[in-house]
Amino acid sequence: MNTSISLEEPATGNISAERKTPEPCSIIIFGASGDLTARKLIPAFYHLCRDKQMPASFRVIGFARRDKTDESWRNELREELNQFSRTQPVNETVWKAFAKNLFYCRGDLNDTAAYKKLEEMLTSFGSGPLRENLLFYLATQPSQFGGVIEQIHRAGLLHKEGAGWQRIVVEKPFGHDLASAQTLNRELTRYAHEQQVCRIDHYLGKETVQNILMFRFSNSVFEKLWNRNSVDHVQVTVSEKIGVGDRGGYYEEAGALRDMVQNHMLQVLSLVTMEPPVSLAAESIRDEKVKLLKSIRALTPEDVAKQVVRGQYFAGAINGKPVPGYRQEPKVKPDSNVETYVALKLLIDNWRWSGVPFYLRTGKNLPMSASEVRIQFRPTPHVLFAAECGQNLDTNAIALRLQPNEGIYLRFNGKVPGMSLGVRPVRMHFSYDAEFGAYTPEAYERLLLEAIAGDATLFIRRDEVETAWQIVDSIRKGWDSKPLTNREFYSAGTWGPVASDDLLAQAGHAWHEPQMVK
């Protein structure tokens, strides 16, 4: 049974924190010939322009080695937009106005002369904000971050103090362990303040992830339940239907723990469990996230053996079509021990969550792609309906669906119509599409706009990154290159290894699989 809910009265306006008006600026994309620029960045800027969200005056400069002109780059991006724009067809009037602001600067990342050429191009825009307000997007390998930052500083384009503002945007991975993350952070802040660095995790740009705080702290009926007194346990699932594919080389170095848990999953966990911030200011929210991450109980090697499960898919079938095992994927070692699945139990040692287990799982080649947070409440005393209803008497739950079919649903028990005392779990479902009748913006649109406006709320702070790596490093230390066991392999197209079910069964719990909600 699926019961929809709606607003009692139509909303008369948007309820949101006041946004700073984006100032005129120039955006420089290093590594502009890569997929990220064509698939995410340019479509995001185009849609911001289409929705009249961009500054009154702006420039986007692509910096890459390939030999292109302004016009050839614009034509190339226009073709890509046909494939990657979230709105079709592309609005030609908007595109033509947007394309006039696109420029290309050919140069090698290690060539000092190329940065001089970039500086001259920026100066040609005038001596005002288009020259002084600069957003540097490093769509490059993390190993190149330090060199690029030093070069733009030497070219007189990046300062800790001075006219206008300059900000640096970087993509994950933010290192591959704590030591490398600390080194990377030192490189990022050598010529810039921490406040000038925007570390992007695209999960934080998703509308439903942002809605977690609104749902928690603006609804008293739920806020009062959000603690150890009412919550039995919490499950966070990020499942992917696709396999590793052509990313085998990257995955051999990263694995599911580094690729998903260290960033996406711990970020979502911190938003679901953090204390109320004193305000909606960026640092207040980020302070509470860090406090939460530091409250996660440290894992010893003995704890890892009991509380963390690895997994790796072998050949199976997805939608009836055969798919290869991980060890048969391109660029993967035939005897690889790299995990494509991780499940873990974490405990948070603070007043609100003491004793409540948090189960996180993520994996490749699972039955469906979905991201969901399920708050499982404590069962009622079985003194009234246990005899009549037996196992049909379900425990209440709230599920926050982050993707797809974004929304929230409340699960509770209802009487089945009829003469007997029958019970059935039912669900009240809130859907973004059905309720608001509006599109959900792409994460990059929100994140890029916040970077231009200088709002750091959705970006990850240095101490957040390093605290998350401490948690992940302790798990990897506990694994200590141990080989996978038979109970840690799973067939592609299933929900993971048997060992993952064993993890929850220790406390009498079981995984709840995400459901396709329409």
pLDDT tens for 465-486 read 999 999 999 999 999 888 999 9
Residue in the structure block whose two tokens are 């997805």? 318
Q: Which one, of 262, 239, 399, lies nearest residue 311 by Cα?
A: 239
| Non-local CB neighbours of 13 within 8 Å, separated by 6+ positions | none
Alpha helix ranges (H) inside 189-262: 207-217, 220-223, 248-256
For residues 37 and 156, state if they share a domain.
yes
Percent helix / strand / coil, the chain, rounded to 5 = 40, 20, 40
Residue 189 lies in a domain: no
What DSSP designation does 296 have?
B
3 pLDDT above the threshold of 50: no
Residue-level pLDDT at 380:
74
Question: Comparing 147 with 440, which gets the higher pLDDT?
Answer: 147
DSSP designation for 255: H
Query: What's the rounded Cα separation, in Å, for the pair 426 and 390?
Result: 16
Question: What interhelical angle do 462-479 and 178-188 show, nearest 10?
Answer: 160
Q: Quick check: 493 pLDDT over 50?
A: yes
Q: Same domain, yes or no, for 378 and 327?
A: yes
Where do we find the tokens 């090697």? 301
Q: Give a yes or no: residue 183 inside a domain.
A: no
- Whether residue 114 lies inside any domain: the answer is yes
As a whole number, mean pLDDT of residues 314-323 equals: 91
Sign of CA dihedral 486, 487, 488, 490: positive
Same-domain pairing of 134 and 277:
no
Last residue of a domain, one of 146, 171, 196: 171
User: What CA–CA distance (Å, rounded) separates 187 from 475?
Assistant: 26
User: In the block, which residue shows the tokens 């900000």?
Assistant: 167
Q: Measured between alpha carbons, how far is 24 from 476 in angstroms, rounded to an integer?
A: 45
Rounded to whole angstroms, the Cα distance separating 314 from 484 reads: 12
Q: Which residue has the tokens 């982050």?
A: 402
Same domain for 212 and 166:
no
pLDDT in tens, 366-409: 999 999 999 999 887 765 556 555 555 567 889 998 888 888 88
Question: What is the C-alpha to C-alpha distance for residues 52 and 46, in angstroms, rounded to an integer?
Answer: 10
Listed residues 171, 196, 218: the one ending a domain: 171
Please state, rounded to an integer, the average pLDDT across all residues of the chain: 87
SS3 of residue 171 by DSSP:
strand
The answer to whether residue 2 is domain-embedded is: no
Look at strands 397-403 and 370-377 and give their pairing. antiparallel
HSE-CB at 361 with a 13 A cutoff on CA atoms is: 32
CA-to-CA distance for 329 and 489, rounded, in angstroms? Answer: 15
Mark whether 211 and 163 lie in a shared domain.
Answer: no
Same domain? For 251 and 302 the reply is yes
Q: What is the CA radius of gyration of the chain?
A: 25
Encode pLDDT of 165-196 as tens digits. Answer: 999 999 888 889 999 999 999 999 999 999 99
Distance CA(485)–CA(267), nearest Å, equals 30
Q: Number of folded domains in the chain? A: 2
* pLDDT tens figures, 28-43: 999 998 889 999 999 9
| Same domain for 261 and 161 | no
Q: Are residues 81 and 123 in the same domain?
A: yes
Residues 280, 370 share a domain: yes
**Same-domain check for residues 138 and 231:** no
210 with 105, same domain: the answer is no
pTM, whole model, 2 decimals?
0.88
**Does the residue 97 lie in any domain?**
yes
362 occurs within a structural domain: yes
Is pLDDT above 50 for 77? yes
- In this prediction, residues 479-504 reach a mean pLDDT of 93
Is position 16 within any domain? no
Sorting pLDDT into bands at 50, 70 and 90, what band is 62? very high
At residue 4, the pLDDT reads 44
What pLDDT, on a 0 to 100 scale, did the predictor assign at position 180?
A: 93
Q: Are residues 411 and 275 in the same domain?
A: yes
Give the Cα-Cα-Cα angle 317, 253, 44 (nearest 5 degrees).
80
d(CA 178, CA 180): 6
Please report which helix (H) or strand (E) contains residue 48, including its range.
helix 42-50
264 is catalytic: yes
Q: Are strands 197-200 and 316-318 parallel, antiparallel or unpaired?
A: unpaired
Q: Which pLDDT does position 388 carry in this prediction?
A: 59
- How far apart CA 469 and CA 294 sit, in angstroms, is 11
The number of beta carbons lying within 10 Å of the beta carbon of residue 183 is: 13
Domain range spanning residue 484? 204-505
CATH number at residue 337: 3.30.360.10
User: In terms of Cα–Cα distance, which of 511, 480, 472 is closest to 293?
Assistant: 472
In a domain, 223, yes or no: yes
**b/e map 186-225, b = 16+ CB within 10 Å:** ebbbebbeeebbbbbbbbbbbbbbebbbebbbeeeebeeb
Catalytic residue among 264, 429, 509, 512: 264
Antiparallel, parallel or unpaired: β 102-106 and 58-64: parallel
Q: Which CATH number characterizes residue 111's domain?
A: 3.40.50.720
The model's pLDDT over 226-257, given as tens digits with 9 standing for 90+, comes to: 999 999 999 999 999 999 988 888 899 889 99
DSSP β-ladder status, 25-30 and 58-64: parallel
Strand spans (E) along 404-488: 407-416, 422-431
Q: Kindly report the number of other CB atoms within 10 A of residue 430's CB atom.
A: 18
